[in-house]
A and B are shown apart, each in its own frame.
Chain A
Amino acid sequence: MAASSNNVPTLSGWGRLARPGREVLSEDLERLTEGKVLSRGLGRAYGDSALPPPGELDVATTVLADRILSFDRDTGLLRAEAGLSLAELNRLYLAKGWFTPVSPGTQFVTLGGMVAADVHGKNHHVEGCFGAHVTRLRMRVADGRILECGPEEEAELFWATVGGMGLTGHILEVEFRMKRVPSPWIQGESMRVADIDEFIARLKESGPDWPMTMGWIDCASRGARLGRGILYRGRWAEAASAPAEPPKRKRRKTVPFDFPGFALNRLSIRAFNEAIYRTHVPAFKSGILHPEEFFYPLDKIHHWNRIYGRRGFTQYQCVLPESAGHGAARRFLELLTSRGGASFLCVIKDCAAEGQGMLSFPMPGISIALDIPVDRGTQELVDVLNRDVIDMGGRIYLAKDAFTRPEDFRAMEPRLDRWMEVRRRWDPELRLRSAQSVRIFGDPT
């Protein structure tokens, strides 16, 4: 939190685009959320999802409310306060043979945030989104009442909240089902892939045998190499083939200061991507992997967002539906590279069926996520990509977004009206808002 020149405190998402805002913390979420317009977890949403709307300063940061309230060793049913982090959950339960049913690419997220963004992971093609495993939520809704909801109780509120970006109420407690794992280690494989078409084919063919898949794409390459990269796939190692001892916690490095603005340019991005591809030797690898290595490679480096310097960055993540046909991903990457949209990191993942969350992001198709350093051309680049996504019938992920225009989001999201209707029923005056909801949904300021 840095203070701007006129002394108004500012707050930002993971992409470091700052807005006026201030975190208020307390162990007592019921008291903390009273009168607040928005809750915030660990601040890993890239854009403005967890920032207050214009005119408001305070957000209720939940991270001190991190108690586990119950855990059933037979069924894996776990209930906890919304500020509990996935990192802590992993530390406590992985060695005991339990893991979250769905994990995003970082463990520095809270349970509340995982529900609000209805996060997905490498196993989306098998387990769907996190919300599919949530059995109950305790919430404070806009009129101040505190209530419980779930798939069988106040189901509309529940499914509007799963993926609802915290706009239907403050999430106070989360109950969900953990999964048993045979060991805390991953049996993994990774391989070089020559181009985007091979990538998609490999993702599809890996799906039935590998419950976890994803790929990294070299976005700096064009032509015949367009979409080349490395495919990763894994499953939990059986106890017999895994090391006997539990994985040690990885030591983390940190980026100690903001990189200067010129550090990330087209050349350095190209060199970095080339190096990742070239140093994957041999072209095919197989073995037992540390779970943090497999699930959270970027968590190894604290504050990695500082490499983008003070100008910050955004992530563009969209899903291109199956209905858009075979060449959709290739066309999208061609459009990106022709626009010079160099991306430091580009992640590809195949998604299966849409979840029940009314605004949940994934749909059957291919998800592509790009990190884009912010400059004067970013808005235009996002607009161009969005138009392509709209044409194909796809959509973008709100938890990453900072630039999508309201008319474009509406064009992508036929489910928006239904969600808005439920939201208005619980919050007629739209008291609960974020910087993002004002920008994209046109909420009052």
Chain B
Amino acid sequence: MRVAFLGATKGMGRALARVLAERGDRLFLLGRDVEDMERSAADLAARGEAPAGSAACDLARPETFEPALDAATAALGGLDAVVVTAGQFATQEELEQDVERARELLTVNFANTVAFCERARARLLAGGGGTLCVFSSVAGERGRKPVVLYGASKAGLSAYLEGLDHRFHAQGLRTVCVKPGFVKTGMTAGLKPPPFAGEPEQVARIVARAMDRGKPVVYAPGPWALVMLVIRSLPRFVMRRIGF
């Protein structure tokens, strides 16, 4: 598989990139920090298939999207899949105290991620189809006290990916919307892990399988599917009382 990968240097993206490279998929790395991507490229090369290259791509700067995807397509000789694990995170308290920060997070996680996906989707369809795998979050499942703003950005993203799946499935586009629960990464370091907290390697294996099968929605680790089933079915007056 030829994969353009936005966000392979850290957290779940790092783990997923390793799983793909170790089984022989050829990656092209996209990200903000070129030097850091070189270190990740070396790591992947030591573990499996060496990445075909890397290019600067920043979700906060939409003008970088097109050149980055051009470079990936050229280096890989086409695209079979595009993975997006990049995104911003901040706690509800941080975002409430800084509206500008909240606006930026909403822009990056929703509007700009969608703009990137639109370009990626067009390229995949032009090549006859392919897989668009995007990391959303269980935080987008329902409006909740601890993740009002972050959750809203991910709710929008999940809704977009569902629509995309319906609209282009017949033409060969496979969208995989990944909804990780709490996963122990640098992003969540310092937060208290809830029960069912997962490891990035575990999530990576689940996601790689979902990509192979073209599974449109995947919860990872598994128990979060049940947790969210319960959360989605709770009446509003209950949600208003609990802290989750």
Interface residues of chain A, those whose CB is within 8 Å of chain B, are 24-28, 64, 67-71, 92
Contact = CB atoms under 8 A, between A and B. Distances in A.
A24 B190 contact: yes
B46 A71 contact: yes
Given A24-B189, A64-B186, A69 B10 contact: no
Contacts of B9: 27
Contact of B186 (A27, A68, A71, A92): A27
B42 interface: yes
Interface string B21-39: 0000000000000000001
B185 interface: yes
Contacts of A64: 185-186, 189
Contacts of A24: 189-190
Contacts of B213: none
B40 interface: yes
B154 interface: no
Interface in B146-189: 185-186, 189
A25 B40 CA distance: 18
B46 A68 contact: yes
A154 B199 CA distance: 38
B47 interface: yes
Contacts of B10: 27
A26 B39 contact: no
Contact of B46 (A25, A26, A28, A92): A92
Contact of B42 (A27, A28, A70, A92): A70
Contacts of A67: 14, 39-40, 42-43
Contacts of B189: 24-26, 64
Nearest to A70: B42
Nearest to A25: B189
Contacts of A28: 186
B87 interface: no
B198 interface: no
Contacts of A68: 42-43, 46-47
B11 interface: yes
Contacts of B46: 68, 70-71, 92
Given A24-B189, A25-B186, A92-B46, 8 more contacts: A24-B190, A25-B190, A26-B189, A27-B10, A64-B186, A67-B39, A68-B42, A70-B46
Secondary structure call for the B interface: helix
Contacts of A70: 42, 46
A92 B11 contact: no
B186 A69 contact: no
A26 B10 CA distance: 9
7 contacts: A24-B190, A25-B186, A26-B189, A27-B186, A67-B40, A69-B39, A92-B46
Contacts of B47: 68, 92
A71 B46 CA distance: 6
Contacts of B43: 67-69
B23 to A, nearest CB: 13
List the 10 closest pairs (A to B, CB-CB), nearest first: A67-B43, A68-B46, A25-B189, A71-B46, A68-B43, A27-B186, A27-B10, A26-B186, A69-B42, A64-B186
A438 B186 CA distance: 30
A24 B46 CA distance: 28
A236 B42 CA distance: 29
Contacts of B190: 24-25
A90 to B, nearest CB: 13
Interface string B71-94: 000000000000000000000000
A92 B40 CA distance: 16
A62 to B, nearest CB: 12
A167 to B, nearest CB: 24
Contacts of A92: 46-47
Nearest to A26: B186
Most buried by A among B9, B11, B14, B47: B47
Nearest to B48: A92
A22 to B, nearest CB: 9
B222 to A, nearest CB: 18
A24 B186 CA distance: 9
Nearest to B11: A27
Contacts of B11: 27
Nearest to A68: B46
B78 to A, nearest CB: 28
A218 B14 CA distance: 45
Interface string B5-22: 000011100100000000
A383 B9 CA distance: 49
Contacts of A27: 9-11, 14, 186
Nearest to B43: A67
Nearest to B47: A92
A302 B14 CA distance: 25
Nearest to A79: B42
A291 to B, nearest CB: 19
Contacts of B186: 25-28, 64
A60 to B, nearest CB: 11
A8 to B, nearest CB: 14
Interface in B43-63: 43, 46-47
B68 to A, nearest CB: 21
Nearest to A64: B186
A316 B69 CA distance: 58
Nearest to A65: B186
Interface string B178-212: 00000001100110000000000000000000000
A69 B42 CA distance: 5
A410 B193 CA distance: 42
B32 to A, nearest CB: 13
A28 B186 CA distance: 9
B186 to A, nearest CB: 5
A63 to B, nearest CB: 10
A233 B162 CA distance: 59
A148 to B, nearest CB: 16
Most buried by B among A24, A26, A27: A27
Nearest to B14: A27
